[in-house]
């Protein structure tokens, strides 16, 4: 009978052990990739029909849209800001992030106007966080436009005359606020902050259960949209 070399057996056992270990590691990596479920962790938007009876859809864009609907009057929006800043550091180039200021109550109107005035005057970086701090930490009454004017002067050196002219006379800002209001009605957005990915997927603290989970879910949805677009490109590509 042919004898089996012990060293050969040891090598064989080592190979088998290595293969088992490899499959175990792969399984562990797969198990740490968290999957999120529609209707639980995020909501798939069912867009309402507009006055003409057609669905309100997001505009097609080459980039994947991520929009935060917020208000300076919302303390939860202030608390989300550090998570947004952290997420933006690693945002990929095919993703476009924007904010839209919403109005759920009368005293949010001046705050929404302030946001768009800041964009128009190119001072948003200077006044964005100070707006939150003034309202929630310093308890300043920013529903009064004169107090917003003072903040813009303090934080961004905006000439009060320029502020008043932009704040009071810009029809485009008022029109945009109305457009945003129509959009959130179509999307049935009732809470802030709410983040919408690709105009189709909604995430907020109610779906995510915590602020910390919002942007991991957003990243999951971005990958989902990216994969869908890649698959469509393959299907629509002409035969070679």
Digit-coded pLDDT (tens) for 142-161: 999 999 999 999 999 999 99
pLDDT tens digit sequence for 176-235: 999 999 999 999 999 999 999 999 999 999 999 999 999 999 999 999 999 999 887 677
Q: Is residue 2 part of a domain?
A: no
Domain that holds residue 80: 43-236
What is the H or E stretch that residue 195 is in?
strand 194-197
Q: Is residue 125 part of a domain?
A: yes
Q: Is residue 201 part of a domain?
A: yes
Distance of CA 27 to the CA centre of its chain: 31
Residue 23 pLDDT level (bands cut at 50, 70, 90): very low
Domain holding 95: CATH number?
3.40.30.10
Q: Is residue 185 part of a domain?
A: yes
∠ CA 233-234-239, nearest 5°, is 115
Tally of domains within the chain: 1
Q: Is residue 64 part of a domain?
A: yes
- 8 Å CB contact between 156 and 127: yes
Q: Is residue 24 part of a domain?
A: no
Q: Is residue 148 part of a domain?
A: yes
Q: How far apart are CA 16 and CA 102, in angstroms?
A: 61
Q: State the residue for tokens 């476009």.
A: 96
Q: Is residue 142 part of a domain?
A: yes
pTM for the full model? 0.80
Share of the chain above pLDDT 90, in %: 72
């Amino acid at each position: 009978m042919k004898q089996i070399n012990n060293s050969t057996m040891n090598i064989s056992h080592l190979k088998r052990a290595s293969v088992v270990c490899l499959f175990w590691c792969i399984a562990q990596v797969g198990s740490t990739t968290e999957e999120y479920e529609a209707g639980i962790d995020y909501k798939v938007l069912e867009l309402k029909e507009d006055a003409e009876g057609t669905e309100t859809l997001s505009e097609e864009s080459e980039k994947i849209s991520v929009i935060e609907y917020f208000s300076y009057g919302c303390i939860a929006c202030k608390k989300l800001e550090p998570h947004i800043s952290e997420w933006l550091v690693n945002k990929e180039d095919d993703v476009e992030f924007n904010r839209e200021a919403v109005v759920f109550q009368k005293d949010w109107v001046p705050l929404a106007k302030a946001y768009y005035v800041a964009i128009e005057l190119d001072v948003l970086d200077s006044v964005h966080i100070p707006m939150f701090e003034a309202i929630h930490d310093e308890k300043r009454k920013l529903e009064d436009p004169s107090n917003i004017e003072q903040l813009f002067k303090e934080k961004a050196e905006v000439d009060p005359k320029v502020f008043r002219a932009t704040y009071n006379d810009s029809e485009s800002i008022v029109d945009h606020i109305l457009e945003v209001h129509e959009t959130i009605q179509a999307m049935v957005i009732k809470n802030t902050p709410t983040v919408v990915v690709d105009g189709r997927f909604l995430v907020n603290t109610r779906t995510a259960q915590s602020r910390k989970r919002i942007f991991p879910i957003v990243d999951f949805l971005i990958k989902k949209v990216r994969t869908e677009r890649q698959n469509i490109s393959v299907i629509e590509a002409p035969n070679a």
